[in-house]
Amino acid sequence: MSRDRILKAMSRVPRERFVSPTLESLAYADYPLPIGGEQTISSFETVVLLCTALLLRGGERVLEVGTGSGYQAAVLAELGCKVYSVERVAELSRGARKLLDRLGYLRVLVRLGDGADGWPEYAPFDRIVVTAACPDVPRPLTEQLAHGGILVLPVGGRKSQRLVRITRRMSGQFMQAALDQCNFVPLLGKWGWAEEPHCARVPRLSGGVLPGGGPWG
Ligand code: SAM
């Protein structure tokens, strides 16, 4: 799907509604913003990057790992996808669900849990996108990928990763392509990192804005 089409879909999603009122004026700045629970809404360009990497055509069933604010899920819905999104932080999951309902995104289902376990009841998925950095590819996600499906996720260390696209061919064979270098917040849980004390918290400046060198995601 072209960048133009993705930008058009994004223009229909009121990004300022997905951040706190005090950060509304920064909603379109190209860096991630805090959303509570020590997490971030991905920067505008990161959302474009992930949507582009998914090679969407429209109409796909997409599993998103890391609902966060719900913004990426809303954009995927605007691109014609049916979205199944999983978030491990209860307050974020609740907040995203409420906001997506209020904005009329009925094609987005949100669940609280460890997204790296996927969502077996709705598998297989045509696309899977992980919006947090993975030390490795979580096996349940490749197992829940449809034949002909695509999984996009950042893989690497806690500070820096490579965006990876895994394609499951119709034959069942997996192909892997390395895309851009990136910097996402860590995936936590059994397929990710332990929450504390090792997990680096997302740094904040006094105004609540992330410094330039912080994670994109
Ligand atoms: N897509 C989100 C948005 O549009 O606002 C941004 C997501 S933020 C960069 C990464 C999210 O992944 C955080 O909300 C974090 O709580 C979540 N996360 C981290 N580990 C997770 C896991 N194992 N399962 C589900 N969500 C997880």
Catalytic residue among 42, 69, 85, 93: 42
Q: Is 93 in the pocket of ligand 1 (CB under 6 A)?
A: no
Q: Is 65 in the pocket of ligand 1 (CB under 6 A)?
A: yes
Task: Answer yes or no: is pLDDT of 197 > 60.
Answer: no
Q: What local confidence, expressed as pLDDT, does residue 201 receive? A: 40
51-109 pLDDT tens trace:
999 999 999 999 999 999 999 999 999 999 999 999 999 999 999 999 999 999 999 99
Mean pLDDT of 116-140: 98
Give Cβ neighbours of residue 102 (< 8 Å, ≥ 6 apart). Answer: none
Q: What is the DSSP string of 130-196?
A: E-SBBSS--HHHHHTEEEEEEEEEEEE-SS-EEEEEEEE-TTS-EEEEEEEEE--PBPBSTTSB-SS
List the structure tokens of 139. Answer: 């096996």
Asked if CATH classification 3.40.50.150 holds for the domain at 3-182, the reply, yes or no, is: yes
Closest CA to 113 of 140, 149, 143, 87: 87
Q: What local confidence, expressed as pLDDT, does residue 210 receive? A: 42
Helix, strand, or coil (residue 185):
coil
Which H helix or E strand runs over 47? helix 44-53
Q: Which residue has the tokens 């999984």?
A: 151
The fraction of the chain above a pLDDT of 90, given in percent, is 86
Atom of ligand 1 nearest to the CA of 66: 12
Q: Is 77 in the pocket of ligand 1 (CB under 6 A)?
A: no
Which H helix or E strand runs over 6? helix 3-11
Domain spans of the chain, in order of start: 3-182
Q: Are 113 and 138 in contact (CB under 8 A)?
A: no
- 97 φ, ψ (degrees, to nearest 5): -55, -50
Q: Is 133 in the pocket of ligand 1 (CB under 6 A)?
A: no
List the structure tokens of 14. Answer: 């009121």
Measuring from atom 14 of ligand 1, which residue has the nearest CA? 68
Mean pLDDT of 186-211: 61
Q: Is 99 in the pocket of ligand 1 (CB under 6 A)?
A: no
- Best mutation site among 43, 47, 89 for ligand 1, i.e. most ligand atoms within 8 A of its Cβ? 89
Q: Which residues pair with 41 in a beta bridge?
A: 33
Distance 11 CA to ligand 1 centre (A): 22
Is 171 an annotated catalytic residue? Answer: no
Atom of ligand 1 nearest to the CA of 38: 16
Q: CA 122 to CA 120: how far, in whole Å?
A: 5
0.75 surpassed by pTM: yes
The fraction of the chain above a pLDDT of 70, given in percent, is 90
Mean pLDDT of 103-127: 98
Amino acid code (one letter) for 57:
R
Q: Is 71 in the pocket of ligand 1 (CB under 6 A)?
A: yes
